[in-house]
């Protein structure tokens, strides 16, 4: 397999990406290798975003292409020990009192492309649901999203509930969305905050490493 | 402290025309904050026009007043429900009684195949014939239309009473009409995610719909401004920003249509209030192409307002941008420090209106709101 798939993902050439994946599969290429090429393309998307060549609309298109690629690849990847192995489990959601999901969805999609196993609980997620999901999955990272100021209280309550359930020491919490900043991190008691999807991926990688 | 030498109207006019007023005009946006401050449950606040208007007046007087009222009228989500192609979640209906309203984009109201319909029949016909039956069936058809007409009639009557009230007090008003940028409207209706994907997959269809919608949106905005005799038009945008789009996409899908609208308004003596949420820093140079001294760029703290001043000095009045996070979580000292910095660095040579970053959040602290207004009114006169 040549480098064209990586480039096509990075250049957001949707039709070419999907056609090429089908062609490679038909030719017997290892689906794990195809997935790895898609991930490399997504990394380039992240780099272009970092360099201000790409913006949120581009991240959404990239997320869409990756999702479609995964729909084709997933059935072929089942049971295979490949590079598709998860880089860790993340529970994610928009906190109680807030139904905004655009930023959350972009972050979830970029985290998925980066190899994390993301459990997206949706929007307006009750505190108890976050706690239960962290408990069941053993997620090392909990991502809380919110756009309106009301969400700061939802984030704070979720983190306090995590503490009450005895899970806070085992779980790192990252927050983000809209106008979240350091003062919100301090108010909520989160471990880290990020301003965009790229930062979220970097923070998640750091937190997974226990830092 | 030196005395004031201008009325609110003179001060506002000076700022918009890029002159230096006696002090910066103060114009916070308030809505749900009023209810929380006076301990009124949000559901009741939105439902009772007299109540929201009376409390707006009470808050104004409690802090000793300010200079400009933006979008005077009862705080009623009907303004969104009647003209905005997105589902609105209301307290007491889909949300707890004391929640603020929220927009629900989870299920797109506008479908991908609708672009062709909009391009063919225009927005107004599409909205009435295709979108309302799907989005708000209770207002569809002649009977539904009459129901909505009655609701909007009451809202219009109460808004006019409030407008007259502020006019009688000599307070200038901003936002007589509202321009719905087709890009933003279609994006809300399609949902942000689907609309951005459509930009990649079917750019020509998206553009054709925007083109068809534009003249109607301009006409509606001018009509509203004329009807209430307030020569300014509110243009609320967030989705065409430099955080979201590449310059090439902005040039193709967004800016030409904004420019056309603003130029049309300016040619009729109407000021455009560019209420631009999200981060527009990367696109600031484009705004120098808009008519000089006939726009106000109102920022919500996501755009670098200091950079905006640098780029637009001598061309466009800047308004903003005390952050919502600061009014909720900060101290009065922090708010005061930020307001002084805005006045010194953005307001220094005029062309600046002090305001909140977007709306004052419902859960802002009153002492922070108060110090925002007071510092705005006294800082320059005390120096």
Mutate to test the interface with A, among B87, B193, B300 (most CBs of A within 10 A): B193
**Residue B89 forms contact with A (CB below 8 Å):** yes
Which pTM value belongs to this model?
0.94
The answer to whether A99 contacts B102, with C-beta atoms less than 8 Å apart, is yes
How high is the pLDDT of residue A83? 47
pLDDT above 80 for B20: yes
Q: How far apart are CA B25 and CA B67, in angstroms?
A: 6
Q: Which residues pair with A192 in a beta bridge?
A: A174
pLDDT above 80 for A79: no
Q: Which residues pair with B276 in a beta bridge?
A: B237, B299
Q: How far are the Cα atoms of B72, B354, B376 from residue B30, in angstroms, in the given order?
A: 10, 13, 16
pLDDT tens digits, residue range B91-133? 999 999 999 999 998 899 999 999 999 999 999 999 999 999 9
Give kind and range of the element (H or E) at residue A201.
helix A197-208
pLDDT above 80 for A166: yes
ipTM of the complex: 0.94
pLDDT tens digits, residue range B290-313? 999 999 999 999 999 999 999 999
How high is the pLDDT of residue A81? 55
pLDDT tens digits, residue range B217-265? 999 999 999 999 999 999 999 999 999 999 999 999 999 999 999 999 9
**Residue A36 forms contact with B (CB below 8 Å):** no
SS3 B199: helix
- Segment A63-70 shows an average pLDDT of 94
- Segment B168-197 shows an average pLDDT of 96
Asked if residues A154 and A95 have their Cβ atoms less than 8 Å apart, the reply is yes
Give kind and range of the element (H or E) at residue B54.
helix B49-62
pLDDT above 90 for A179: no
Q: Of A32-36, A75-79, B3-7, where does the model show the most confidence? A: B3-7
**Residue B104 forms contact with A (CB below 8 Å):** yes
Among chain B residues, CA nearest to A105? B193
Closest Cβ–Cβ partner in A12, A123, A179 for B324:
A179
Residues of B in contact with A60 (CB under 8 A): 192-193, 196-197
Asked if residues B102 and A152 have their Cβ atoms less than 8 Å apart, the reply is no
Among chain A residues, CA nearest to B282? A52
Q: How far out from the chain centre does Cα A40 lie?
A: 15
How high is the pLDDT of residue A101? 87
Measured N-to-C along each axis, helices A56-77 and A14-26 cross at an angle, to the nearest 10 degrees, of 20
Question: How many CA atoms lie within 13 Å of B136's alpha carbon, on the beta-carbon side?
Answer: 21
**Residue A64 forms contact with B (CB below 8 Å):** yes
Label residue B32 exposed, middle or buried (CB < 10 Å: 0-12, 13-18, 19+): buried
The answer to whether B89 contacts A99, with C-beta atoms less than 8 Å apart, is yes
pLDDT above 50 for A175: yes
Degrees, nearest 5: CA angle A109-A68-A31: 100
How high is the pLDDT of residue A86? 80
By mean pLDDT, which of A202-211, B57-66, B289-298 is the weakest?
A202-211
**Residue B28 forms contact with A (CB below 8 Å):** no
Other C-beta atoms within 10 Å of A143: how many? 33
- Segment B158-179 shows an average pLDDT of 96
By mean pLDDT, which of A1-5, A88-92, B47-51, B195-199 is the weakest?
A1-5
pLDDT above 70 for B64: yes
How high is the pLDDT of residue B257? 98
The answer to whether A149 contacts B328, with C-beta atoms less than 8 Å apart, is yes
Q: Mean pLDDT score of chain B, rounded to an integer? A: 96
pLDDT tens digits, residue range B252-287? 999 999 999 999 999 999 999 999 999 999 999 999
Phi (first) and psi of residue B158, to 5 degrees: -70, -35
Percent above pLDDT 70 for chain B: 100
pLDDT tens digits, residue range B296-355? 999 999 999 999 999 999 999 999 999 999 999 999 999 999 999 999 999 989 999 999
The answer to whether B364 contacts A149, with C-beta atoms less than 8 Å apart, is yes
Given pLDDT bands bounded at 50, 70 and 90, which one contains residue B367? very high
Q: How far apart are CA A134 and CA A145, in angstroms?
A: 16
Q: Mean pLDDT score of chain A, rounded to an integer? A: 92
The answer to whether B329 contacts A61, with C-beta atoms less than 8 Å apart, is no
How high is the pLDDT of residue A1? 76
Which residues neighbour A210 within 8 Å (Cβ) at sequence distance 6 or greater? A172
Looking at CA atoms only, how far is residue A112 from chain B in angstroms?
Answer: 17
The answer to whether A99 contacts B282, with C-beta atoms less than 8 Å apart, is no
- Segment A61-69 shows an average pLDDT of 95
Q: Which residues pair with A125 in a beta bridge?
A: A95
Scan for tokens 């780099």, then name that residue.
A47
Given pLDDT bands bounded at 50, 70 and 90, which one contains residue B205? very high
How high is the pLDDT of residue A82? 52
**Residue A157 forms contact with B (CB below 8 Å):** no
Checking DSSP bridges between strand B87-89 and strand B102-104, what pairing results, if any? antiparallel
How high is the pLDDT of residue B106? 87
Q: How far apart are CA B351 and CA B315, in angstroms?
A: 9
């Amino acid at each position: 397999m040549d480098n064209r798939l990586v480039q096509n993902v990075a250049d957001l050439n949707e039709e070419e990406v999907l056609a090429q994946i089908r062609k490679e599969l038909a030719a017997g290429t290892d689906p794990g290798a195809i997935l790895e090429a898609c991930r490399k393309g997504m990394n380039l998307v992240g780099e272009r975003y970092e360099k201000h060549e790409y913006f949120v609309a581009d991240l959404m298109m990239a997320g869409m292409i990756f999702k479609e690629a995964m729909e084709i690849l997933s059935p072929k990847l089942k049971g295979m020990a490949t590079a598709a192995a998860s880089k860790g489990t993340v529970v994610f959601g928009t906190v109680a009192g807030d139904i905004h999901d655009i930023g959350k969805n972009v972050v979830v999609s970029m985290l998925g492309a980066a190899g994390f196993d993301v459990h997206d609980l949706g929007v307006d997620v009750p505190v108890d649901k976050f706690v239960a999901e962290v408990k069941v999955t053993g997620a090392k990272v909990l991502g809380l999203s919110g756009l309106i100021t009301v969400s700061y209280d939802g984030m704070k309550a979720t983190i306090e509930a995590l503490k009450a359930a005895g899970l806070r020491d085992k779980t790192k919490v990252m927050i983000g969305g809209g106008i979240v900043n350091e003062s919100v991190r301090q108010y909520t008691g989160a471990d880290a905050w990020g301003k965009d999807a790229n930062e979220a991926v970097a923070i998640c990688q750091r937190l997974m490493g226990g830092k | 402290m030196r005395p004031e030498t201008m009325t609110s109207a003179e001060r506002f006019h000076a700022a918009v025309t890029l002159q230096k007023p006696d002090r910066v005009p103060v114009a916070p946006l308030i809505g749900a904050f009023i209810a929380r401050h006076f301990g009124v449950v949000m559901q009741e606040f939105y439902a009772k026009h007299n109540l929201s208007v009376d409390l707006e007046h009470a808050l104004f007087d409690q802090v000793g007043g300010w200079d400009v009222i933006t979008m005077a009228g009862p705080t009623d989500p009907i303004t969104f429900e009647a003209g905005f192609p997105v589902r609105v979640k209301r307290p007491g209906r889909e949300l707890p009684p004391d929640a603020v309203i929220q927009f629900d984009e989870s299920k797109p109201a506008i479908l991908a195949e609708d672009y062709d319909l909009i391009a063919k029949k225009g927005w107004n016909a599409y909205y009435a014939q295709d979108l309302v039956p799907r989005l708000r069936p209770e207002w569809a058809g002649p009977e539904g239309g009459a129901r909505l007409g009655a609701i909007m009639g009451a809202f219009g009557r109460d808004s006019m009473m409030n407008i007259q009230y502020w006019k009688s007090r000599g307070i200038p008003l901003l936002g007589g009409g509202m321009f719905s940028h087709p890009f933003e409207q279609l994006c809300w209706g399609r949902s942000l995610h689907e609309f951005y994907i459509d930009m990649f997959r079917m750019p020509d269809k998206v553009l054709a719909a925007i083109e068809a919608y534009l003249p109607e949106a301009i006409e509606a905005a001018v009509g509203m401004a004329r009807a209430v005799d307030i020569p300014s038009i509110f243009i609320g945008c967030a989705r065409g920003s430099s955080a979201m789009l590449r310059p090439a996409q902005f040039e193709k899908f967004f800016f030409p249509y904004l420019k056309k609208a603003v130029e049309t308004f300016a040619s009729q003596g109407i000021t455009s209030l560019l209420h631009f949420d999200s981060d527009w820093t990367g696109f600031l140079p484009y705004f120098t192409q808009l008519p000089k001294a006939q726009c106000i760029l109102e920022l919500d703290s996501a755009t670098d307002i200091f950079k905006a001043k640098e780029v637009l000095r001598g061309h466009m009045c800047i308004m903003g941008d005390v952050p919502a996070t600061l009014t909720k979580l900060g101290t009065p000292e922090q708010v005061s420090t930020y307001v002084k910095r805005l006045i010194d660095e953005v307001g220094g040579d005029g062309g600046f209106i002090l305001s909140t970053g977007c709306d004052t959040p419902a859960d802002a602290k009153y002492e922070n709101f108060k110090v925002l207004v007071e510092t705005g009114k006294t800082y320059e006169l005390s120096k």
